């Protein structure tokens, strides 16, 4: 190995324009605000979906109760009618 240092190219000069820096800073701030607004909107949508799901669950439970309260007397009536028919037939 030789002791000569390796020559490298100079790094590219950064843009020293303060106006460009301000534009980038405004753009980053705007994107940050949009990201926060989107996250809040998604959170609100998620809460609304959960509320709708809870309402649907209550409706399903109520429908099941109405069905069972109607089905029980119907089944009981069918049993009584069947017993009456058997009693008359025998």
**pLDDT value at residue 72:** 87
One digit per residue, the tens of pLDDT, for the chain of length 90 reads 567 777 777 766 666 777 888 888 999 999 999 998 888 888 888 888 888 888 888 888 888 888 888 888 889 999 999 999 988 887
| Residue 12 Rama label (left phi>0; alpha psi -120 to 50; beta) | beta
Q: CA 66, 68, 70, 71 torsion: positive or negative?
A: positive
CA distances from 39 to 42, 60, 73, 88 (A): 5, 31, 52, 73
**pLDDT value at residue 28:** 93
CA–CA dist 72, 75 (Å, integer): 5
């Amino acid at each position: 190995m030789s002791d000569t240092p390796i020559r490298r190219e100079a790094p590219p000069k950064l843009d020293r324009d303060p106006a460009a820096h301000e534009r980038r800073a405004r753009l980053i701030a705007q994107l940050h605000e949009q990201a926060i607004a989107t996250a809040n909107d998604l959170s609100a949508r998620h809460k609304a979906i959960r509320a709708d799901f809870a309402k649907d669950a209550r409706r399903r439970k109520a429908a099941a109760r109405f069905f069972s309260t109607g089905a029980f007397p119907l089944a009981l009536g069918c049993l009584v009618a069947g017993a009456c028919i058997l009693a008359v037939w025998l």
